[in-house]
Amino acid sequence: MQTFLTAAALVQTGPLSAGMVPASIPSPDWSGFDIPLPWGSLRIHAYALCILAGIVVGLWLTSVRWARRGAPEGSVWDIAIWAIPFGIIGGRLYHVFSSPDAYFGPGFDGTGDLSLIPQIQRGGLGIWGAVVLGAFGAWIGCRRAGVKLTAFIDAAAPGLLLAQALGRWGNYFNQELFGGPTTLPWGLQVDADNANFPAGYPADTLFHPTFLYESLWNIAGVLILLALDRRFHFRRGRLFWLYAMYYTLGRVWIEAMRIDDAEQINLFGITTRLNVWTSIFVFIAALALFIWLGRRKDGNPDSVYLPGREPAPAVSAEAGVPASVKADGGKPAAAGTAVSASGPESTKGSGSASIVTGNPVRDTDPVVSDSESRDNLPDNQNGSGLASAQTEAVPASTGGTTTAAESRNAGKSGGTDTGTAPEADSSR
C-alpha cells in the first residue's frame, strides 16, 4: 500500500526525475532455460512454456464441457491432435503476413530474413490464423470421430479464451507487444537494451502492459461465456460466435494502444493497424452469424453426433435379448414362457399383449369355468344356490377338473353330497 501511495504522489507531482521509477511491473529477468545435450544444448523458451500451459488448461476445460455434452470418451484428444498443429501453423502464417517487414523486408523488397519464419520461439502467433486453420484441423478430427464441429467449438470456446489468457504472458517474457508510454503504477518496464525497446524514449520509460490487459479481459470473458451458456444453453456454434464477438470487442481497443511495428491499412479514409480492421470485420461477421443461427431450426441441436454416427442402442448381454424384452427381476424370459406387456402373468385376458418366446404346453383336459357351470344349472330356487356353492368350493389344487355333467348332476340332486365339497352340509 505504501508503494502504491508513493507512486500516486509521484504521478501528481509531475515528470519523474532521472533515476526515479514509480511502482511498476518489472521487466523479466528470466526468459527460459537450457537443457544440456551431448552435441550442445536445447533452449526452452518461456514464451513456448506459456503457450503450452495455455493449451493444457484450455484442453482441460474443453474436455470437461465436452464430456458433459455426452460426447464419445476420449474424442476431445482425437480432435485436438489435428486442431493444435494446424492452429500453430495458421497462427504463425497470419503473423508473418500481418507483420512482413522482418521476413520480406519493407515493402517486400527482399531484404528480410526468411529463416526467421519457422522460429516461433521468438514470438509471433496471430490469433485469427490460429482460429481459422485450427478450426479446419478440428473439422478433420470431428469427421473422424463422428461428431459435429459446431458442437465441439461451442464446448471449446471458453477453453480457447482461457488458453489465450495464459499464452499472452509469453509476450511479457519476450518483452514485446506493449503499448505506449504511461505513468500509471502498473506501467511495464522494458530493458533499454532489448531489441523491442522503441527508439526515442528514455531508458526509464514505462509502457502500457497490453499483454496484461488482454489476459484479464480474456479471463473475464471465460466467466461470462460460462454463465451465459449455463443460462441459455447455446447450440449450433452460437457460443463460439459469441466468443468471437467478445474477444474482438476487447482486441480493438487493446490493439489500438500498441506501438510495435505492424501492417497499416487504409479503409474509408482511416489508416490503422491490420489487426484492428480484422477485429472489426470479425465482430460484424460473428454478430450476423449469431443472429442467423438463432433463427435457424435444427432437428436435434443437443446431439453431438453426426447424422448416422449415433451409437447403437444398448443390447442385453444375456442371451442377446434387448433390455426391453425382459421377464420379472431383469432376467431374460425363459423358453416356453410368455411375457405380458401388462404384468408378469402369462395368462392375461385378451386385453393384454404378450410375447411368447417358446412353444407353450397346452392342457389337454377341457376346463370349465365357474361362470360356464352356473349357466348350465337349472333355474330353480332349491338347487341353484347350493350347486353354485359346491362348484366354487372345489379347489384348483385337487389335481382334477370338474366336468359339465358333474355340475348338472349336482344341481339335480338338490344338495346331495358328492364327497368333493365337505362344506356343503354346513351350508344347508
136 or 379, which is more confident? 136
Give the burial string for 200-217 (b: 16+ CB within 10 Å, else e).
eeeeebbbbbbbbbbbeb
**Long-range contacts, 197-205 (Cβ 8 Å, 24+):** 198/259, 204/16, 204/18, 204/19, 204/20, 204/21, 205/181
Give the burial string for 247-270 (b: 16+ CB within 10 Å, else e).
bbbbbbebbeebeeebeeeeeeee
The reported pLDDT for the residue numbered 415 is 42
Which residues, at least 6 apart from 156, have a Cβ–Cβ distance to it below 8 Å?
Answer: 58, 62, 65, 66, 138, 240
pLDDT tens string 213-246? 999 999 999 999 999 999 999 999 999 999 999 9
Alpha helix stretches (DSSP H) within 69-177: 75-98, 101-104, 127-145, 149-167, 169-174
CA torsion 235→241→242→247, rounded to 10°?
150
Give the span between the Cα atoms of 211 and 193, in whole angstroms.
20
* Of the candidates 79, 67, 158, 174, the residue with the CA atom closest to the CA atom of residue 124: 174
The reported pLDDT for the residue numbered 386 is 42
Q: How far apart, in Å, do the first and last CA atoms of the chain sit?
A: 109
CA 268, 274, 280, 282 torsion-angle sign: positive
The reported pLDDT for the residue numbered 355 is 45
35 or 358, which is more confident? 35
pLDDT tens string 80-124? 999 999 999 999 999 888 888 888 888 788 888 888 888 887 778
* Of the candidates 93, 77, 257, 276, the residue with the CA atom closest to the CA atom of residue 184: 257
Average pLDDT of every residue of the chain? 76
All cell numbers assigned to 416: 346331495
Confidence bin at 251 (pLDDT 50/70/90)? very high
Which DSSP category does 311 fall into? Answer: P
Give the span between the Cα atoms of 201 and 186, in whole angstroms.
18
Beta bridge partners of 181: 207
Confidence bin at 147 (pLDDT 50/70/90)? very high
pLDDT tens string 280-326? 999 999 999 999 998 887 767 788 899 888 887 766 555 455 554 44
* Of the candidates 99, 88, 154, the residue with the CA atom closest to the CA atom of residue 121: 88
